[in-house]
Amino acid sequence: MGLAGAKNKRKLGNDPNNTKWSRNTDSFGHKILKAQGWQPGDYLGAKDAAHAEWHTEANSAHIRVVLKDDTLGLGAKRNHGDECTGLDAFQHLLGRLNGKSDEALETERKAREDLKRSLYVEQKYGTIRFVKGGWLVGDQVKDAPDEQLVDSQNGPASEAPQGAAQVTEATATALMESNKRKTDQDDDRTDDKKRKKERKSKKRKAESEAAADGESAREKKSKKSKKRRAEAEESDGEASFSSRSSKKKKVEVKLIGESALSSKAAASEASGVPDDAEDAAESGMAKKEKKDKKKDKSDRKERKEKKRRKDSALETVIATPAESSLSTPDGSGYSTPVPTGSSRYLARSRFIAQKKMAFADSAALNQIFMIKS
Amino acid sequence: MAFKRSSAEREDTQDPKRQKTNGDGSAIMDPKQNPYLAHQYEDDQNGFESPLDDFKRHKTTAVQAAKAEDSDLNPWTGVPHSQQYFMILKTRRDLPVSKQRQEFLDYYHSSQILVFVGETGSGKTTQIPQYVLYDELPHLTGKLIACTQPRRVAAMSVAQRVANELDVQLGEEVGYSIRFENKTGPKTLLKYMTDGQLLREAMHDHAMSRYGCIILDEAHERTLATDILMALLKQIAEKRKDLKIIVMSATLDAQKFQTYFFNAPLLAVPGRTHPVEIFYTPEPERDYVEAAVRTVLQIHASEPEGDILLFLTGEEEIEDACRRIGLEVDDMIRESDAGPMAVYPLYGTLPPHQQQRIFDKAPESSRKGGRPGRKCIVATNIAETSLTIDGIVYVVDPGFSKQKIYNPRTRVESLLVSPISKASAQQRAGRAGRTRPGKCFRLYTEKAFKKELIEQTYPEILRSNLANTVLELKKLGVEDLVHFDLMDPPAPETMMRALEELNYLACLDDDGELTTLGSLASEFPLDPALAVMLISSPEFYCSNEILSITALLSVPQIWVRPNNARKRADEMKQQFAHPDGDHLTLLNAYHAYKGAEQGGEDAKKWCHEHFLSFRHLSSADNVRSQLKRIMETHGIELVSTPFQNKEYYINIRRALLAGFFMQVAMRESANSKVYKTVKDDQLVMIHPGTVVTSPYDWVVYNEFVLTTKQYVRTVTNIRPEWLLEIAPNYYDVETFEKSEIKSALMRVAEKIRRRQAMKGAK
């Protein structure tokens, strides 16, 4: 926490681990154990026990405990977000010293750069959430692309954003996952039918996730919803939609085109996500909205984590479209969650914006300089 | 074994032999029918024709057994089966184990030791002992079947269930035995018991000769007693080839058990569980409580019907989360038409009637056609194994639990929030699939699951103070403690500390042999320090009082301090407060309770008014009478100093030291709140729950715990002179390292010497 953190004074004794006792080899216990044939460093228990392979260090010394007095989640670091900076510059060198191949180093470097860039974008503008809207096959929107189309269309269209998106993962998991994904891609290329099925289900998952996104965002602003729903119905016909890769923060906008909602699947989709379509449409011309979106930088991360988790969870809701349309309250039109707190960036950008506005507004300037007109 | 039946029942059996007798219509009564002669015919198997008569021990088949079960008469009692019996029988036949009965018997016949793995819901706890019963035929051999359970409640409830299934009275053919309660009779064939109880029996019967088959259930929980029993049974099995052993576990990694038991055969039965989908978070959570609350809300908002189980670590956290979830759900209902949700906390110290609420039905939808209601249970890890709650479809697992871990170096017992194990995470997830396919939301990343969690939860034997265990082992006749074949041998330091403590308590002599005192102390189901204190209390003329205090210290906290009435509760406690410490305060409260009870007051009401736990006080009362019986059998006098005597409380305080002289702390310096434990030199504070307000220089304490800080709990003021007098061995000042404690003790010793010299001069 650094200097700003709460002070936590704890008085320690001279010998908090009581090494005085543990070093003492004259104690009664030590004597008895030795008399029975124990040697320091040995495990207790039967000699050459068959089950000894399962013994851990807990069998040789007492279990060490850590005093946890916060509610930090499992695996979270206290100084998450302000790790030591500047080490990036040396990664290349360190990697080489560790004997990594140039190719590996190059990919790592790229991944780092992508990560940095997307982090920058995310911090500066925030991310926009999109909802899966199906596939345009010919002139029909479908739930998933046809088998043949997987290669031709899906390959470039959806794998690429996935690739880009995975970099945005701000955590260490990103690299791991990307590896996994890469293997996925390879598999795809082998054109195995099974794989495709799998992928299909994955797609569906992504879809439902996305829909759920909308849903949860919607809940937050149910007040605005009614008006917007009307709008959404209008925009129904021209459902411009976007693909959003699963589990990712970053989104690649793909306006695939206008389409008639002819296929059943698409219809059900639309019933579940009318405002998302509208949302996407809006986002096309939505410079205005950007401002709003900026606002939510603050605790977006937290939220998003949860959203995302949720997303994947919500599969079943969407799997049954009838139910989903029943259960979903109306949306707000914002795919990004609305922030409640504030951050440094937020305050600053708002301040700058206010200043700019003031300078642009002559009435305000007059007021500031107390010029009577 | 006897099959006594009334003559009326015999009428129905249409026994040809007896019909003849009746047909005679003669006044000569069949002697067998004479109730006064019944004992002569006790062993007469022809009392009724039981299908069991043609059974050959260890040669029965599942078909035979099924036939016996299907017969109109109860093969064990000869009484006609009730309607209910056949209904239960039908459901029993549907259990997953039932399909593998023959397979089980084949394994059972072929091997002395069998490892049996059955997931929760397979019916192993109720069915396997019955299968053994039909094969072991204990009424012929007189050797019982024992089935151990880690928990008392489980032993009682399972015994009741099995008695119903066999259509017999609980306490007759099927019984149970737990600490301080024995519900078995001369006819008992199948006995459910706690593992600790079987261990206590083994102290007096080293070969467990009463039993023909011992079933260790829930072995995966690895309680202290189960671990010792396993090692013991391993030894006995070599000597007694007729003893059969079944080790039952719910987890699939039974390989360790197999290897441990001489590569015993393994039989696995699938449970009746549904798949559970597992979700991780993509990134670690900053605040797991917050994340857990949000996850519950999101599930409620967007997932279909199904109850939620959320695991948190402790009472405070749980109550807090419950409150927050409740408030948020109210908001959600108001603003977005969500379904109603009932939120129930669940933790060990919750009174039973409140624990019972978790079994309530989920609330109905608030209006017709609205979103369905659900319930959300926020629980500690007691909901992980001990309790089965049906209807749970969603599990939220932040990955933490509170664990008790003993440190032999500083002798502190820590109760800290720590990450769970992988095994325990899987157990938690499994809770979601009891009724239908479920989902488990883990509030950590997959990477954290793989890297930060240990494989298995540490068994109790690695986490506990072993003083009691070592004493038990000595009593069980285990000489070589070093090579005692435990599945998980404890750390050598833990063993050393236990030996050392027992030596200072004079339970072990300098060669490590059990002393008379030690042998006597092991008769008490208590920690050695408590037992020694109790045994030596007559020397201080206060064994009655020490007995009460011992009983009160062996039950959970009797003080009730509800969140909404803390101040009032503290005031009430102050009424009983004794300025010299918590032990005496406990005693005062107990005396007041007994006084109220004898005064004809409604004890329950009285306890409620005085913020005392009626449940724990009455259980302390029960423990007291059991301990009293043990004292009487061993000729320990029950005496009291008259209350008017000014020595009354002093005697009690001195008697405390007879057992707890190793748990003494001295104030570090005047005006300081920090104390230092004797010999281990650990800095401790007195737990805020104490009644002691004026700081004393020397205190004796009952426990030393590490929660947020190092605390000593339940403290009483003492005088240093007593230490030198009562435990001169431990307080041999020469052996102390140079410290404030040493110099303080030296001063005290000097004072005593001078006083004696003055006396001598007079």
pLDDT in tens, A4-60: 666 667 777 888 888 888 888 888 999 999 999 999 888 998 888 888 888 888 898
Statement: residue A220 has pLDDT above 70: no
Query: Contact, A239 vs A133, CB < 8 A?
Result: yes
pLDDT band for B386, please (50, 70, 90 cuts).
low
Candidates A44, A60, A83, A219: best to mutate against B (most CBs of B within 10 A) is: A44
Phi, psi of B200 (to 5 degrees): -65, -40
Instruction: Tell me what the mean pLDDT of segment A302-308 comes to.
Output: 48
pLDDT band for B36, please (50, 70, 90 cuts).
low
Is the CB of A171 less than 8 angstroms away from the CB of B283? yes
Which residues, 6 or more positions from A237, have their beta carbon under 8 angstroms from its beta carbon?
Answer: A260, A261
A18–chain B nearest CA distance, Å: 6
A242–chain B nearest CA distance, Å: 23
Query: Contact, B96 vs B123, CB < 8 A?
Result: yes
Question: Quick one: CA dihedral B315, B222, B125, B145, positive or negative?
Answer: negative
Phi, psi of B674 (to 5 degrees): -95, 135
Instruction: Tell me what the mean pLDDT of segment B320-328 comes to.
Output: 93
Statement: residue A213 has pLDDT above 50: no
* Residue carrying the six token digits 């920058």: A120
Beta-ladder partners of B214: B146, B245
Candidates A14, A30, A60, A62: best to mutate against B (most CBs of B within 10 A) is: A62
Beta-ladder partners of B710: B706
Look at residues B658, B670, B675, B659 and name the one whose alpha carbon lies nearest to residue B713: B675
Percentage of the residues of chain B whose pLDDT score is greater than 70: 93
Question: To 5 degrees, how large is the angle CA A279–CA A283–CA A286?
Answer: 125
pLDDT band for B267, please (50, 70, 90 cuts).
very high
CA dihedral B167, B173, B174, B176 (to 10 degrees): 150
Residues of B in contact with A215 (CB under 8 A): 302
Say which residue, A35 or A280, is predicted with more confidence. A35
Report d(CA B195, CA B176) in Å as an integer. 12
Find residues 267-296 of chain B whose CB sits inside 8 Å of chain A.
Answer: 279-291, 294-295
**pLDDT, position A76:** 82
Look at residues B139, B143, B131, B133 and name the one whose alpha carbon lies nearest to residue B47: B139
pLDDT band for A345, please (50, 70, 90 cuts).
low
Name the residue in chain B with its Cα closest to that of A313: B279
Report d(CA A295, CA A186) in Å as an integer. 40
Q: Which of A117-131, A140-154, B605-619 has the lowest mean pLDDT?
A: A140-154
Report d(CA B698, CA A213) in Å as an integer. 62
Statement: residue B152 has pLDDT above 60: yes
Helix (H) or strand (E) holding A137: strand A135-137
Is the CB of B286 less than 8 angstroms away from the CB of A18? no
Strands B698-706 and B664-667, how do they pair?
A: antiparallel
Report d(CA B425, CA B419) in Å as an integer. 10
B482–chain A nearest CA distance, Å: 5
| B162-171 pLDDT tens trace | 999 999 999 9
| B498-517 pLDDT tens trace | 999 999 999 999 999 999 99
**pLDDT, position A348:** 75
Instruction: Please check whether residue B490 touches A, CB under 8 A.
Output: yes
Is the CB of B290 less than 8 angstroms away from the CB of A71? yes
DSSP state of B454: B
Report d(CA B352, CA B696) in Å as an integer. 38
Instruction: Tell me what the mean pLDDT of segment A259-267 comes to.
Output: 38
Is the CB of A29 less than 8 angstroms away from the CB of B499? yes
**pLDDT, position B31:** 56
Helix (H) or strand (E) holding B406: strand B400-407
**pLDDT, position B307:** 94
Candidates B281, B401, B436: best to mutate against A (most CBs of A within 10 A) is: B281
Is the CB of A43 less than 8 angstroms away from the CB of B489? yes
Burial class (CB in 10 A: 0-12, 13-18, 19+), B629: exposed
Name the residue in chain B with its Cα closest to that of A10: B709
Instruction: Tell me what the mean pLDDT of segment A335-363 comes to.
Output: 65
Helix (H) or strand (E) holding A301: helix A300-313
Report d(CA B662, CA B677) in Å as an integer. 9
Note the helical H segments in B364-522. 422-430, 446-452, 467-475, 492-504, 516-521
Query: Contact, A278 vs A223, CB < 8 A?
Result: no
Is the CB of A18 less than 8 angstroms away from the CB of B706? no
B452–chain A nearest CA distance, Å: 7
**pLDDT, position B706:** 92
| B389-433 pLDDT tens trace | 888 999 999 999 999 999 999 999 999 999 999 989 988 998 888
Name the residue in chain A with its Cα closest to that of B235: A46
Report d(CA B8, CA B5) in Å as an integer. 8
Helix (H) or strand (E) holding A142: strand A140-142
Beta-ladder partners of B703: B713
Residue of B289, B336, B491 with shortest CB distance to A62: B491
DSSP state of A307: H
Residues of B in contact with A35 (CB under 8 A): 512
Instruction: Please check whether residue B179 touches A, CB under 8 A.
Output: no
Residues of A in contact with B498 (CB under 8 A): 29
Strands B374-379 and B276-279, how do they pair?
A: unpaired
Report d(CA A247, CA B71) in Å as an integer. 61
Residues of B in contact with A301 (CB under 8 A): 283
Report d(CA B473, CA B59) in Å as an integer. 36
**pLDDT, position B660:** 96
Instruction: Tell me what the mean pLDDT of segment B34-55 comes to.
Output: 62
**Structure token digits, residue A201:** 């289900």
Strand ranges for B229-320 from DSSP E: 244-249, 266-269, 276-279, 307-311
Query: Contact, B212 vs B138, CB < 8 A?
Result: yes
Residue of B290, B492, B503 with shortest CB distance to A38: B492
**pLDDT, position B231:** 95
Percentage of the residues of chain B whose pLDDT score is greater than 90: 64
Find residues 301-340 of chain A whose CB sits inside 8 Å of chain B.
Answer: 301-302, 305-306, 308-310, 312-314, 316-317, 323, 327, 329
Q: What is the pTM of this model?
A: 0.72
**Residues counted in chain A:** 373
Inter-CA distances, B398 with B250, B310, B327, Å: 23, 8, 21
Query: Contact, B481 vs A36, CB < 8 A?
Result: yes
A28–chain B nearest CA distance, Å: 5
**Structure token digits, residue B475:** 């009593």
**Structure token digits, residue B517:** 């005192």
Which residues, 6 or more positions from A332, have their beta carbon under 8 angstroms from its beta carbon?
Answer: A217, A218, A220, A221, A222, A224, A225, A228, A275, A338
Report d(CA A220, CA A209) in Å as an integer. 17
Residue of B399, B500, B680 with shortest CB distance to A29: B500
Is the CB of A33 less than 8 angstroms away from the CB of B683? no
DSSP state of B358: G
Is the CB of B706 less than 8 angstroms away from the CB of A67? yes
Interface predicted TM-score of the whole assembly (ipTM), two decimals: 0.81
Report d(CA A108, CA B125) in Å as an integer. 55
Q: Which of B207-216, B252-261, B567-576 has the lowest mean pLDDT?
A: B252-261
Is the CB of A73 less than 8 angstroms away from the CB of B481? no
Is the CB of B416 less than 8 angstroms away from the CB of A65? yes
DSSP state of B37: G
Helix (H) or strand (E) holding A124: helix A102-125
Residues of B in contact with A127 (CB under 8 A): none
Report d(CA A26, CA A36) in Å as an integer. 15
Rg of chain B over all Cα atoms, to the nearest angstrom: 30
Instruction: Please check whether residue B330 touches A, CB under 8 A.
Output: no
Which residues, 6 or more positions from B502, have their beta carbon under 8 angstroms from its beta carbon?
Answer: B467, B470, B471, B508, B518, B528
| B473-495 pLDDT tens trace | 999 999 899 999 999 999 999 99
**pLDDT, position B122:** 81
Say which residue, A266 or B222, is predicted with more confidence. B222
Report d(CA A89, CA A87) in Å as an integer. 5
Report d(CA B198, CA B181) in Å as an integer. 13
Beta-ladder partners of B177: B182, B193
Find residues 47-76 of chain A whose CB sits inside 8 Å of chain B.
Answer: 47, 49-51, 53-55, 58-63, 65-69, 71-76
Inter-CA distances, A137 with A88, A260, B706, Å: 44, 11, 65
Query: Contact, B694 vs B673, CB < 8 A?
Result: no
Report d(CA A227, CA A223) in Å as an integer. 9
Residues of A in contact with B281 (CB under 8 A): 73, 305-306, 308-309
**Structure token digits, residue B272:** 């009746």
Residues of A in contact with B439 (CB under 8 A): 313
Report d(CA B95, CA B394) in Å as an integer. 24
**Residues counted in chain B:** 762
**pLDDT, position A79:** 62
Rg of chain A over all Cα atoms, to the nearest angstrom: 29
Q: Which of B109-123, B204-218, B630-644 has the lowest mean pLDDT?
A: B109-123
pLDDT band for B123, please (50, 70, 90 cuts).
confident
Say which residue, B443 or B12, is predicted with more confidence. B443
Find residues 149-208 of chain A whose CB sits inside 8 Å of chain B.
Answer: 169-173, 176
Is the CB of A170 less than 8 angstroms away from the CB of B439? no
Residues of B in contact with A312 (CB under 8 A): 279
Helix (H) or strand (E) holding B404: strand B400-407
**Structure token digits, residue A325:** 């349309």
Instruction: Please check whether residue B740 touches A, CB under 8 A.
Output: no
Name the residue in chain A with its Cα closest to that of B228: A45
Q: Which of A259-273, B46-60, B692-706, B716-730 has the lowest mean pLDDT?
A: A259-273
Residues of B in contact with A169 (CB under 8 A): 282-283
Residues of B in contact with A298 (CB under 8 A): none
pLDDT band for B371, please (50, 70, 90 cuts).
confident
Report d(CA B363, CA B694) in Å as an integer. 52
Residues of B in contact with A76 (CB under 8 A): 284-286
Residue of B295, B448, B499 with shortest CB distance to A28: B499
- Indicate the SS3 state at residue A136: strand
Report d(CA B687, CA B561) in Å as an integer. 15
Helix (H) or strand (E) holding B417: strand B412-419
Instruction: Please check whether residue B576 touches A, CB under 8 A.
Output: no
